[in-house]
Structure 1
Amino acid sequence: MENKNICFVIHSLQVGGMERVMSEIISYFAKTNAYNIHLILYGIKREVFYEIPDDVIIHKPTFEFDNTKRLLSTLKTLRFLRNRIKEIDPISVLSFGERWNNLVLLSLLATSIPVYVSDRAQPDKPLGFKDDFLRRKLYPRAKGIIAQTSQAKSFYESYLANHPKIRVIGNPINQQEIMETPKEKIVLTVGRLIETKHHDELIKLFVKINKLDWKLIIVGGDALNQHNKQKLEKLVKSLNAQDRVVLAGNQQDVASYYKRSAIFAFTSSSEGFPNVVGEALSFGLPVVSFDCVAGPSDMIQEGENGYLIKLFDYQEFALKLSLLMDDTFLREKMAGFAPISIRKFEKNQIAKEYFKFITNR
């Protein structure tokens, strides 16, 4: 008997957290040999960065998306999605991305094809009048909604008037083999240099703590045309902290920074699911993080593997960070529990949860 089909739909598989998660889920499904796996790439850029198994059937539009004729290109994309997915005739479709999910659901109106959707950003973040309107009208038609965090699930239950099938499935976090690497007195943070990460405030509170034997290292580069690296460099210079605050820029080997560091600090105010928090915990770093929407509260157990701080309470953030910097025993205790606490996000376990949810198996 011929295997049935499952269809994964995403606008891009270039470098990015959403794209990495999709590629890992696809790889797991392909290894089961239970279904024929189809992948539809329909965005402006259709190159594949992440490794996809050879037996996955990839579909792309034959036309280019012309931004100068956006409406026409969007209509052509809708027609392509509808026709191709109907040809594949899948038992389930999995789509990623807020605005993109609207497009997929819209393309399959008046069909009986089951569509599962997952937003990959802060759940309550406004998308604009048009996309918010479409999400409110179209998401109730989805067969299932995958929320990355418990906060996201609560938002969808309220926003969509108790949709009957919402499941919390976090992101896969690579589990690390903890080596006896000597820890240095480094507070680490990893993330793009964008305003919602509040690196400027982290620098100021770190310098104010004034522990001269510690360093703050910020890994990440400019993004979203905000040009914050230059602003942060000026701030560090104005605080006379060039010897204690390092702007490391983008790094290929981020793991080496996790291995050397003793504490992870996270001052972001807007997330979908902050992978870097999970990565830090997997490397055995206690985490001090704002309790932002959404994600940190699903990974950090207060006083066990880190601290959750009320959003923008920089005084409390500095107190907890200073406590960890001063107390070696506390740091080591939390460091020992941190990798254990994140095992529920092991890659195959997360992919298995996706498998069960969208196949009803």
Structure 2
Amino acid sequence: MSLKIAFLIPTLSPGGMERVMSQVVNYVADNKTDEVHLVLYGKKGDIFYQLSEKVIVHTHDMVYDEKYRIQYTFKTLKWLRREIKAISPDTILSFGEIWNNFVMLALIGLKYSIYLSDRCQPNKSFGKLHDTLRKWLYTSATGVIAQTQKAKEIYRTQFKHNHVVIIGNPIRSIAPCNIEKENIVVSVGRLISTKNFDQMIDIFTQIDNPDWKLVIVGGDALKQNNSAGLQQQIEKLGMGERIILAGTQKDVESYLLRSRIFAFTSSSEGFPNVVGEAMSAGLPVVAYDCVAGPSDMVVNGHNGYLIPLFEKETFGAKLKYLMENPQIAEEYGRNAKHDIEQFSTDIICEEFYKTIIENA
């Protein structure tokens, strides 16, 4: 029996949450017989990611003006409620922490099957108002989708919800090619404080192996402008020729395929796609065991190492071990490529689909 499924997200502008939503929406539209609706209710209904022709897209034509923010918010709530009632979906999937509050407020009192998926560090506070709303509103959702085991544990306590399921992110497959490997430790991420690239630079410098380079792929973000400070740190350490800030790159894949080890010093994650993509490229991973994410992918002594948060000496020791033992690094890399297949696009999108239709 075909169903009507509504997928809700503020926008499909460039971003991790938006990319995953586009993958799930396209998978259902192209592989199932259901009627697929995508409702974009944010200030701008931008669509950066390509959508299947079978997807029915809903956007509003309201113009946002900061002077009338409250009025605009109420108008959007009314529009979203009206749009969902017109679609009359059998089930709904909504993405986005604070945005899920908005969706639940818009649909309050309506008897729809609603699944909420949070996409960030699970113990993150959004301020007293939004934290209170989340605790109140999430209890009435049909189900809550967590990205990691740790997130599930936190959500079950935080939201007092009995139906919390774990679904990771879809990780794209990276095929091997003829790019020649080099002695490179690579990392990928925005140059924001929680990525702790200053620590990574110190760790790599302390290892003092002139045959290796560290390449950090990513640009400034969140108005933090950390690239200048990181470059000064590199120059002060005399590592200008061995530590490279590559900036934002479209072809991240080529950097992964050229490298031998992936290092990750982030302390705040929801589900780090970059770790999964590094594993898909066949790289062993050395990562801080932050609140959520790496521990659902990295297995100590099998495909890499999980390091207790901010234990720089331990991080450096494991990184050095892999640098000096190429056969072990290659073995871990092969294991990583095999292990990450459980997060393939088709497998993860099918998990989303089965979850949201179980009560339809």
- TM-score by length of structure 1 reads 0.97
Q: Which moved more, 1:289-298 or 1:181-190?
A: 181-190
Measured on the aligned residues, the alpha-carbon RMSD in Å equals 1.1
Contact 2:7 2:37 in 1 (8 A): yes
Aligned to 2:247: 249
The amino acid across from 2:254 in the alignment is S
Aligned counterparts of 1:75 and 1:30: Cα–Cα separation in 2: 31
Secondary structure at 1:26's aligned position in 2? helix
Any residues of structure 2 matched to 1:280-291 within 5 Å, and which? 280-291=278-289
Aligned to 1:300: 298
Any residues of structure 2 matched to 1:53-202 within 5 Å, and which? 53-161=52-160, 163-179=161-177, 181-202=179-200
% identical aligned pairs: 48
The amino acid across from 2:165 in the alignment is R
Contact 2:20 2:169 in 1 (8 A): yes
Aligned counterparts of 2:335 and 2:181: Cα–Cα separation in 1: 16
Aligned counterparts of 1:120 and 1:40: Cα–Cα separation in 2: 18
Any residues of structure 2 matched to 1:311-326 within 5 Å, and which? 311-326=309-324
Note if 1:225 corresponds to 2:223: yes
The amino acid across from 1:318 in the alignment is G
Q: CA deviation at 1:178?
A: 2.7
Aligned counterparts of 2:334 and 2:179: Cα–Cα separation in 1: 13
Unaligned runs of 5+ in 2: none
Aligned counterparts of 2:300 and 2:120: Cα–Cα separation in 1: 24
The amino acid across from 2:133 in the alignment is L
Q: What's the CA shift string for 1:51-104, capped at 9, x where partnerless?
A: 111121111112123233221111111101111001100011110000000000
Aligned counterparts of 2:203 and 2:294: Cα–Cα separation in 1: 20
The amino acid across from 1:11 in the alignment is P
Contact 1:43 1:65 in 2 (8 A): no
Q: What's the CA shift string for 1:144-202, capped at 9, x where partnerless?
A: 111000010000111122x1211100000012223464321000000000000000110
Q: CA deviation at 1:4?
A: 3.1
Unaligned runs of 5+ in 1: none
The amino acid across from 1:195 in the alignment is S
Contact 1:197 1:267 in 2 (8 A): yes
Aligned counterparts of 1:84 and 1:289: Cα–Cα separation in 2: 44
Aligned counterparts of 2:35 and 2:336: Cα–Cα separation in 1: 38
Aligned length: 359
Note if 1:47 corresponds to 2:53: no
Structure 1 segments of 4 or more deviating over 4 A?
Answer: none
- TM-score by length of structure 2 reads 0.98
Contact 1:267 1:290 in 2 (8 A): yes
Q: What's the CA shift string for 1:225-283, capped at 9, x where partnerless?
A: 00000001111110111000000000111110000000000000000000000000000
Q: CA deviation at 1:335?
A: 1.2
Query: Please, which of 256, 259, 270 is the counterpart of residue 258 of structure 1?
Result: 256
